[in-house]
Amino acid sequence: MNMFIKKSVVALAMLGMASSASAKGYKEVEVSNGGSFAGTVAAGAAEADTRSYTISKDPEICGEGSREVSFVEINGDGMLMNAVVFLNDVDEGKAFDPATINLSLDQKGCEFSTVLGVMANQGELTATNSDMTLHNIHTYELIGKARRTVMNVSQPNEGDSVTKKVKLRRGNGMKVECDAHDFMHSFVFVAKNPYYSVVDENGGFSIDGIPAGTYEVMVWHGFLGEVEAGEVTVEADGEASMNLSY
């Protein structure tokens, strides 16, 4: 079933993780006869957006000339890249994958190691400076058009590393910048439950282990924002599908 997503003013957010690897407010339980939800995310009305930044410092490390940063990437079939589909307000269900609770970001060649990272709210974000120049990692919780500083740490030396527990209050993700280099950009989706999927290179997503029920479907993109996609009903051992369009 094809649905055009109704845009909403919802923020980006991170999910709170407790030591038991479950998010605050989310209860991990055994899920039997869980269903699945899959589909695609087309760009729809969204347009590709690439911006050019002049490299004005540290050319021996960062390179010379300019840096092209793709904030909105659309593949050849019109599918939106770096989007996340998630089920909103899920109270209980399967456990988080331990590998997705925390996130490490490296800064090398004046670039972040990932364009889009994923972690759990109340998980730990570790940022490492692998360059022989100063970086200042600055992360912001995205709340609609507003943003709130989460981490702001100077890392003057190669090898400097900082780890911070991330607890987003209202948003579902973060913007990551370097205050010393304005061409360094990254985004982080912060999950409040494990029922999410980063789209693949074909724009596809797949979520499994879902308890039977009806759920609100959301699509998150670090630059474009967050949109509502309506509701999906997942039956026990069932396979629901929805093709979304931004």
Query: What are the tokens at 224?
Result: 């474009």
In this predicted model, what pLDDT tens digit does every residue of 144-171 receive, in sequence order? 889 999 999 999 999 999 999 999 989 9
Q: What's the rounded mean pLDDT across residues 85-94?
A: 96
The pair phi, psi for residue 24, each rounded to 5°, is -60, 130
- Overall pTM > 0.85: yes
The answer, yes or no, to whether residue 241 has pLDDT greater than 90, is yes
Domains and CATH numbers, the chain: 2-245 (2.60.40.420)
Instruction: Decide: helix, strand or coil at residue 131.
Output: coil
What DSSP assignment string belongs to 67-85?
EEEEEE-B-TTSBBSSEEE
pLDDT in tens, 38-85: 999 999 999 999 999 999 999 999 999 999 999 999 999 999 999 999
**DSSP character at residue 60:** H
Residue, of 210 and 18, whose pLDDT is higher: 210
For the stretch 220-240, pLDDT in tens is 999 999 999 999 999 999 999
pLDDT at 19 over 50: no
4: pLDDT strictly greater than 70? no
Q: What distances in angstroms separate CA 185 from CA 24, 53, 64, 113, one per listed residue?
A: 28, 11, 18, 10
pLDDT tier at 11, thresholds 50, 70, 90: very low
Hey, is 29 helix, strand or coil? coil
Confidence of residue 10 (pLDDT cuts 50, 70, 90): very low
How many angstroms separate the CA atoms of 156 and 127, rounded?
A: 13
| Whole-number pLDDT of residue 129 | 98
Please give the pLDDT value at position 7: 36
Residue pLDDT, tens place only, 94-143: 999 999 999 999 999 999 999 999 999 999 999 999 999 999 999 999 99
Phi, psi dihedral angles at 99 (to 5 degrees):
-70, -15
